[in-house]
Every structure is written in C-alpha cells, then in structure tokens.
Chains A and B, each alone.
Chain A
Amino acid sequence: MPPASDQKTGDSAPALADETFRLHPLTPIALGGRVLGILIVITALGFAERGASGGASPNWIQVAIFGGLALLLVVRGIITVAVTSYHLLGGELRIDSGLLQKQSKRIRLDRVQSVDVLEPLSARIFGLAEVKVTTAGSERAAVRLRYLALPVAQSLRADLLGRSTGAGEGAVEAPERPLITVPHGRLVGSVLLQMVSWRLLLLALGPALTVIGQQNGHKATTGIGIAIFVWFAVLIAHAIWQRVNSLWEFTVTDSPDGLRVRHGLLSTTRQTVPPGKVQAILIHQPMSWRPFGWVQVRMNVAGYGRADSSKRTTLIPVTDRAFAESLVGWMLGGVDLHDIPLTRPPRRAALRAPLWWRAEWAGADDRVFVGRHGLLSRTIDVVPHQRTQSLRLSAGPWERALGLASVHLDSTPGPVRTRAAHRDAAEARQMLDRQIDRARTARQIGTPQSAQAPRVS
C-alpha cells in the first residue's frame, strides 16, 4: 500500500491543517520509464543468448552492463523518493529534497496560477500521477511532484486549489459542471484538416521524383523519391497521432476552484486554472477549417511559458464559432464579442500591409480589448483591461513614412499577442492613452465573474 494514501487529507481536519507526505514507492520504476524498459529488455536478451551461441553461457558482460545501469537508475530513484518530502503548511507548500545537498523550496499558494494532474503512460500503468504546480514567472518556477497514487494526487490538487483560492481546505473535489466534450470524429477531422498545408507539397515531391526517375530509367532518383515519400508520410502520421493522442476526450468543466481541462488517450492530463488566472484568450480559425465553421480556443496563463505552449495553452481544440464566442464572453464576465466596436487601419496602410490591412480590426469596450487579424486563417485576440501588463507603441521606418504606428498590449507569455496594427499615428496615440486609463480603472475596481455559463453545444 502506498504510505502516502494514509496521509490523505482527512475530511474532518480543521481548516489549513499542516500535512506531510511522501512520493509513492513505485516512483523509481515509473520515473525510469522508457529508458528503464529498454535496459531491462537488453539485459533479458543477454540471458537469452544461450541458444544462439550454441549452448554457451549467457552473455554476462551484456547482462552486467545493462542490468547494472537499470539497477543504478532504480537506486537513484529510490534515494530520491527516500529524501524527498512535501509539507503543506497553512498557505504554503514546502518541498524538502536532496541527499547530500539539502534543498528546501517554498511556494506561496496564493501565487499559484494552475495545478495540473498528469498521467504519463509509464506512470499510468502503475496507477500513479504527477502533480504540477505552476506559479507566475518562468517555466522553471513549476514544481513537479512525481509520482503520487492517483487518488492522492487528486485530493492534493483539490487541497492545493482550495488553499490557493482561500476557500480553505478543499479535500473533497469541488463539484463540476460540464461545459464541453469534443466529439471524437470532429477532433480527428480537425487534426487531419490542420495537416492540409504546405507540408503536403513535400509529400508530393516524392512521387514526382519517382515518376521522373522511372521515365528516365534513373534508379537512384526513383529510390530517393520513394524514400522521401515514406519519410514524410511517417512524419505526418506521427504528428497526427501525437495530436489525437494528446487531445482525445477533450473535456472542459467549470468548478468553484477553476476551469478544468481534461484530455489524453494513453497519457492523460487534467489542468485546473483558478478563476481569474486566465490572462488573455484567442479564438483561432485555420484556413482549412473555414468550410466547417470550426475554431479553436487558446489562452495565456502566467507560468505556462512558450516551451510547451500548444499543449498546455489549448482551452478547446475544436468547436463551433458560436460556442467559442459565448464561452469566451462568459469567461470574461459576460462580454458579447459582437458588441465591441472595431475599427480598421486607414486606407494608406495598404502600402504597409497589402491586402492584410483590411483584416486588422481592433477596438475595446469598458472591459476588454479585442483585436482581429488574418485574411486566410483568422484570429480574435481578447484581453481584459484588468489583465494587461504594459502597453507599447511602435513605428518602423516604413510605418513612419506613411504616418502610421501600431499599438501592442503586452500579456504574459503565451499564444495571445494583442495589437492594433498600422493605425494613423495620432489615432494610435489616442488608443494608447485611452487604454492606459481603462487598464488603470479596471485594476482599481476589479472585474466581477459572471454567473451564467453557456450551454453545451
């Protein structure tokens, strides 16, 4: 039995009791993952060599080297487990680790931006899960508790979120209300359509070379053509598989301790973003999705960084435009994206951004700033005034020659980059000044969360 499970938060415990817990004893094996598996297989093959070399003894050298490495890996894991302990002390999480060099790390839970429960395949097999606590700042600021038994991980998540939102100890999972589950067919269709891009031209390069080779009786060209085709086919199939595997059963639910996102086929992920921690949102429509009216929704969350952005920043991988807009509006406290007056750059901006200048819309109401851009693929960026960081004005030589300037709204690192591009210089400055006032007012008042969630599509 995992010793951690009996440390689980007692329902009857007083609010914000101190707790100590440890990693699950199977952690070393799950941490070893694929590498450990390969080492063990090679070691086993060493034993099996008996038959091949005509009744000789097993290949001891192979067994010793690879078995030794596997053992080393496991021993290292065991030491890690033995010397690592986690303590929940009121509103703080403390992690003590290190055998020779002791380390102690403290995290203030009111600074927590999101809590994820991850089950990579190698851990899921053993019923284990990782709890990843992200605080504002760099990606390195994230703390990974690897591994805990799944029920322990889940109750820890609830507990951390309960403490972080100040709701007290949330040992019992807060009740959740489903918002959307992406149907399998639509997910696969959307992923396939996203692969329709210039990359397909590379795929066509193979058969083209093969045909040329055949016609000229040049065998090498034919061979290269086939190789290119197979190579790109494998790459594309792999990309499709990765996306489908990661986004499978994508479910978004709403709960008192935040927005919950669950997805994954072999490895699963459960993210929880506490209320008000979404910094900015975008609705994106790749060109190939336009006939179907599909869009995806992505978000900026402080601490997610850009490294694994596409995976963690996805809020909905594919849905209808109407649902996406109503969800975004609801998340921002009851904003109707269609009600916001948008303007376009002046006509002379065509000299700076031919054709595309027509698609550069931007505008704001008293709560959010909205920017739309893109002619073929289309994106709507939305930032609440309360969450804008800094504001920028820029003008390159070409823009200056035309008397234009661009306004940028800085948000935490992520997919959303809001701007009003190529405006008349005076208008740009006006937008900037108004935006400064709006952001200041919003910071002072604070935006209330709205009550009514959109209906599931």
Chain B
Amino acid sequence: MASGVTNVAFAPPPDQTWTRVSPLLARMRRTVVIALGIPVVAGVAVGLSFAWDTAGPIVGIIGALVLVWAWFAIGRNFRSWRYVERADDMVVTHGAMFKKLTVVPYGRMQLVDVKAGPIARSFGLVSVKLHTAAATTDAEVRGLTPDHAGALRDRLTALGEAHAAGL
C-alpha cells in the first residue's frame, strides 16, 4: 500500500511543478561508480581466484549485480532531486530511500552557498545550499548547471534581502 501513500506528503505544492536538476548528475554518479566499481570488482575476483577457483565467478557475479543495482538506484535518486521557488519560500526535496523535503522561507536565509567539487566541475555541475540560523536546515540542490546555479543564487539573494526578518 504504502510507499504510494507516503508520496502524497512529498508531492509538489498545489498549482506548482517541481523543477528537476540536470541529468548530468546521474551521468556523473554512474561514471564514478563504474570507473571505481569495475576495477575493484575485477581486482577482488582475480585476486581471490588464486586462492579458490570458484571464488572468481561468484565475486564477479555478485559485483556485477551490485553495480547494476547501483545504476538504477542512482537513477531513482537523481529523479528525487527537485525544487520549486515560491512567492515566500523555496521548497527543496531529495532522497528515494530516505525522503526529505525542506521549506526555507526567504526571510530566514542567512546565506546562499554555491559549491562545486573537482569531479562535479569536470561535469559542469554545481550545487546550491541554503543556510538559515538553524544548523539542521537541510536545503541543498545538487546537479545544477553553473548558469542555472548563478541565476538561482542571484534570485535567492535578492529575495532574501526583500524578505529579511531579524532573528
């Protein structure tokens, strides 16, 4: 019954649609998993086959299954990264297994962080994180293109100034 039931809680706000992030996010993660996963699985399989003949194929099959699962899990997780900018706040959601949805009122934003690690940068991806005075605020949008992220940051900063409410 259930996971469908829970989805109503994570539906887009009424009369709004989610903005999705760039599919490059999934491609980046898949590339990383494949690039690291295949050599590791192959190495372990070959190494173990010296000790025990049948270990090689068994490890190989299990490893391949895990990688296939990871391929689909990444897709599922990628589709879960969504956000919508509303009049007074921004709603951010992500997570397939552990679902999370955060609402950050513009007036509560302390700063907007734009970040990109070396791998993300090589794929042309940036993440935008919203900070409030609460440490528990969990509002991050990953997988934005630099143009998108820059525009989003500028919009948020302007909205933050317009709505600013003291602590």
Interface residues of A (CB under 8 A from B): 111, 113, 136-137, 277, 279, 302, 389-397, 399-405, 408, 410-413, 417, 425-426, 428-429, 432-433, 436, 439-440, 443
Contact = CB atoms under 8 A, between A and B. Distances in A.
Given A390-B139, A400-B6, A436 B103 contact: yes
A397 B11 CA distance: 17
B93 to A, nearest CB: 8
Contacts of B139: 390
Contacts, number: 111
B134 A426 contact: no
Given A302-B167, A393-B100, A436-B89, A412 B105 contact: no
Nearest to A410: B134
A199 to B, nearest CB: 29
B33 interface: no
Counting chain A CB atoms within 10 Å of each CB, which of B8, B98, B134, B165 scores highest?
B134
Contacts of B5: 403, 425-426
B89 A411 contact: no
12 contacts: A389-B132, A390-B108, A392-B137, A395-B99, A396-B98, A402-B2, A405-B10, A405-B99, A410-B134, A412-B167, A425-B6, A425-B9
A136 B105 CA distance: 18
Interface string B119-145: 000000000000011111111000000
Nearest to B90: A390
Given A136-B133, A392-B138, A426 B103 contact: no
Contacts of B16: none
Nearest to B2: A403
B104 interface: yes
Instruction: Report which residue of B88, B107, B135, B138 has the largest number of chain A beta carbons within 10 angstroms of its beta carbon.
Output: B135
A333 B45 CA distance: 68
A399 B9 CA distance: 12
B98 A394 contact: yes
Contact of B98 (A391, A397, A411): A397
Contacts of B19: none
B37 to A, nearest CB: 23
Contacts of A443: 105, 107, 165
B98 A390 contact: no
B134 A390 contact: yes
Please classify how large the interface on chain B is, using the bins under 10, 10 to 19, 20 to 34, 35 or more.
20 to 34
Contacts of A413: 134-136
Contacts of B6: 395, 399-400, 403-405, 425
Given A395-B99, A401-B3, A390 B107 contact: no
A75 B135 CA distance: 40
Contacts of A411: 134, 136
B74 to A, nearest CB: 17
Which 8 pairs, one residue from A and one from B, show the smallest C-beta to C-beta distance? Answer: A403-B5, A410-B134, A389-B134, A425-B9, A429-B9, A393-B101, A389-B132, A403-B2
B29 to A, nearest CB: 20
Interface string B76-102: 000000000000110000000111111
B36 interface: no
A113 B167 contact: yes
Contacts of B108: 389-390
Contacts of B8: 425-426, 429
Given A136-B133, A389-B133, 8 more contacts: A389-B137, A390-B104, A397-B98, A404-B6, A417-B136, A428-B9, A440-B88, A440-B105
Nearest to A413: B135
A413 B137 CA distance: 10
A137 B102 CA distance: 21
Nearest to A426: B8
Contacts of B136: 392, 408, 410-411, 413, 417
A113 B133 CA distance: 12
A400 B101 contact: no
B151 interface: no
Contacts of A394: 98-101
Contact of B9 (A302, A402, A426): A426
A391 B132 CA distance: 11
